[in-house]
Structure 1
């Protein structure tokens, strides 16, 4: 990413928020901002970045918005023969940063989760429709339709948010940002295990959110979780692009600065804020990251944290991850018994990770044939090509050792 691209991505939500606050109409303001960003991407590399880039963008976008308004007004005049007053010229740039309000607006409860994700990446992340489509491996037209429908639904929505609605809406924002990060960390389909553009953008957006809400424990917990997880990315694939499981990773490749920052953040949050699910997940990631070797991992502490997480935020993936920790503490046979109960959950019944965990535990217990079949079953169910290759290689290794 060039310096200009980075600056435009940083300023995009601030400019959009300023326009929506001034004129209203999210859809028309977003279109105007996109035109201003396009103009800047063409002019600034050649002419240089202006002294006040945010003001330049707001002024340019405001002019585009006024041009749109005049066109709409002229059309209504012809259709209705009614005269309407023109809006005022652009006002001086305000110093208020409404990024948080914009994030909350993009996660409006009337929107579906895919629409919230697409709109957040477009309006707050500054990604183009094509970039979002490439990241999620869907046609550009599909993302365009999601964004268009989302903007239509938000037409007439107030830019300000009643305080009573803020906690629920903030929870949706955190879910959307975590979903973006998760898709980037382990892509649900396709040939790449990681999509760095998504993990990088998710971390950037959570940093923006934490700048607005520095005392919110869950915002801090989510940032810590992302950093501690992203720290391991350099070691997750080998030179050939094959997946490397956590226990086999070269920990010298882990990002030490991310680990230090993540540990510091979660330590502070747990000491000063009510405990929430993102903080607990970050604490689990910290235990993994602070272990010098896989054998040094404190699985008993991880199991305790999963027991807490199961109470605070129960869910199928929490249950499944707890089984892994349980097996590490109590042995593979006990883990298989726990897994049998967990697999009865309809949400997990056909999930490839259940088969992958079963295969791992069967292998540890000495049942090579059973483990091989479970690895192959997991490989058939995942859409991720790197995961398929890894699971198939595990099955093949067991076959060759017979």
Structure 2
């Protein structure tokens, strides 16, 4: 049996906590009980695994230990009968000898049930996404807050209110019926996309990229006639194809133009582009499909210089029409500048119209454009502002390096 240290146990927590929390919510029907029990189980693991070694099935060990802890807690609080009765309503079908309910519904996955529970229409869209990131992906409140560009205390209050709303409204823990799925889909797609990006921008590896892709594949199987589901899957695959080239061995960032395209995953590119072509044939464009198409154009180019920037800007024009957000407008301006479609002066004018003062890519983009225009002192200040807002050390170091080059 292999010996494990605390760092390895931490990685397992990041990978398995969402699965365990989802399984326990199915059993007990109480989010707080599930979260607390899983935290306690990992605390036990940190005490025992370094000496006894890693169990054959760490995730199963955590779930089993957490279930026992939850039962002990409920017995102590004399609430077991009440909560297990509620759980029977939330997870119809009864319980097996281990206390786990039978699998039911069109998708046999606890985490997907958890996404749809957290994305119930009774909750605001923001609360739906935030709560699922917290429960499914195991993100800290700080990391969820960063995804929404809000303060930690604000996000903590939102998460507590969302959990209370689920409990008070007795929101069922299940995948919706087929006729309910289209209306319930947009926040679920947003969750999966943010789960993927949480690892790209997070301070540590979490296994969330592969988890997001797995969930996107499940959704694509569940909803084969929804082009936006396919669009999201294609977007994640094409983005993932470049992940190995985005950082140097020392952890520093590598811009798109400097990436070694030999490191790009050809199999993921081929699969993603095939899905994009299928979406184009449907002719029902949506935000995820258009973002996937933009990434497909990048993947088509053998070198950065051969990128078809005019096509990318045209796709951003379509994206801005269906999703008129400041972030989309910012990315369109970046494409205009990088591809020399209109030049840095025109791009800067577009960027300066946007209200994104708390978004570090906004300031990083301004810094780059100002530097291109020879306005070095302004560029240095913009780089410093971007670095102050950046979520990771690697991004902060990269931006401060750019700021020093502008001085």
Normalised by the length of structure 1, the TM-score is: 0.71
Residues 1:37 and 1:151: Cα distance change in structure 2 (over 3 Å):
farther
CA distance in 2 between counterparts of 1:112 and 1:5 reads 28
Residue 310 of structure 1 is matched in structure 2 by 320
Following TM superposition, by how much is the alpha carbon of 1:379 offset from its aligned partner in structure 2, in angstroms?
Answer: 2.5
Give the aligned partner of residue 198 of structure 2. 183
The offset of 1:157, in angstroms, is 1.9
Aligned to 2:211: 201
In the other structure, the counterpart of 2:296 is 286
Residue equivalent to 2:171? 157
Larger radius of gyration: 1
Please tell me whether the aligned partners of residues 193 and 212 of structure 2 are also in contact (alpha carbons under 8 angstroms). Answer: yes
Kept after mapping to 1: 8 A contact 2:196/2:209: yes
What's the counterpart of residue 339 of structure 1? 348
The SS at the match of 1:344 is coil
Structure-2 separation of matches of 1:89 and 1:215? 32
**Structure 2: unaligned runs, 5 residues or longer:** 1-7
Structure 1, unmatched stretches of 5+, are 77-83
Aligned residues: CA RMSD: 4.6
Partner residue of 2:114? 102
Offset at 1:295? 0.6
1:379 to 380, 384, 391: 384
Q: Deviations over 1:227-265 (max 9, x none)?
A: 222222222222333222111111122233332332223
- Secondary structure (helix, strand or coil) at the match of 2:330 reads helix
Q: What pairs up with 1:1-400 in 2 under 5 angstroms?
A: 12=20, 15-16=23-24, 18-19=26-27, 61=67, 68=74, 72=78, 90-91=95-96, 94-96=102-104, 97=108, 99=110, 100-111=112-123, 116-117=128-129, 119-121=131-133, 123-125=135-137, 127=138, 132=140, 149-155=161-167, 156-159=170-173, 161=176, 166-187=181-202, 192=203, 195-272=205-282, 274-329=284-339, 331=341, 333=343, 335-345=344-354, 347-348=355-356, 351-364=359-372, 367-368=373-374, 370-382=375-387, 383-384=389-390, 385-399=393-407
CA distance 1:371–1:153, change in 2 (3 Å): same
SS at match of 1:336: helix
Q: Give how far 1:121 is off.
A: 4.2
Does the 8 Å CA contact 1:375/1:395 hold for their aligned counterparts? yes
TM-score, length-normalised on structure 2? 0.71
- Alpha-carbon shift at residue 143 of structure 1 (Å): 8.5
For residues 267 and 328 of structure 1, the distance between their equivalents in structure 2, rounded to whole angstroms, comes to: 26
- TM-fit CA distance, 1:98: 5.4
